[in-house]
Amino acid sequence: MRFFTGSKIDAQGRIAISGLIDPLTEVVCYVTEENFDLLFVLPYSDDIDIPSNYTHKLDDKGRFIIPSAFRKNAVFGYITTDISETGGIAIKLIRK
């Protein structure tokens, strides 16, 4: 997987992903047991087999709040669109 850009994670746990997923979009995020530092963020649709109460919404500036369960002490995230066939992104979390 190739990472082309990155963004600092602020004190509220937000990371800027504007231009990659439209602002105010409902998204779902998950990690896999193979790599807990790789966070997948996909636009939510009924095709995704995840309950809608697990969705998050990007703010009007295109920032995504990383859930604290995934964030832990992450300070930076490298972002890739190598999973773009799903319309989503992956964020490699860098912890301090």
pLDDT value, residue 35: 92
90 three-class SS:
strand
Q: Counting beta carbons within 10 angstroms of the beta carbon of residue 58, is it exposed (0 to 12), middle (13 to 18) or buried (19 or more)?
A: buried
Taking the C-alpha atoms of residue 62 and residue 58, their distance in angstroms, rounded to an integer, is 6
The predicted model scores a pTM of 0.88
Taking the C-alpha atoms of residue 50 and residue 42, their distance in angstroms, rounded to an integer, is 11
pLDDT value, residue 85: 65
pLDDT category of residue 33 using cuts at 50, 70 and 90: very high
Q: What mean pLDDT do residues 48-77 have? A: 90
Domains of the chain: 5-95 (3.40.1550.20)
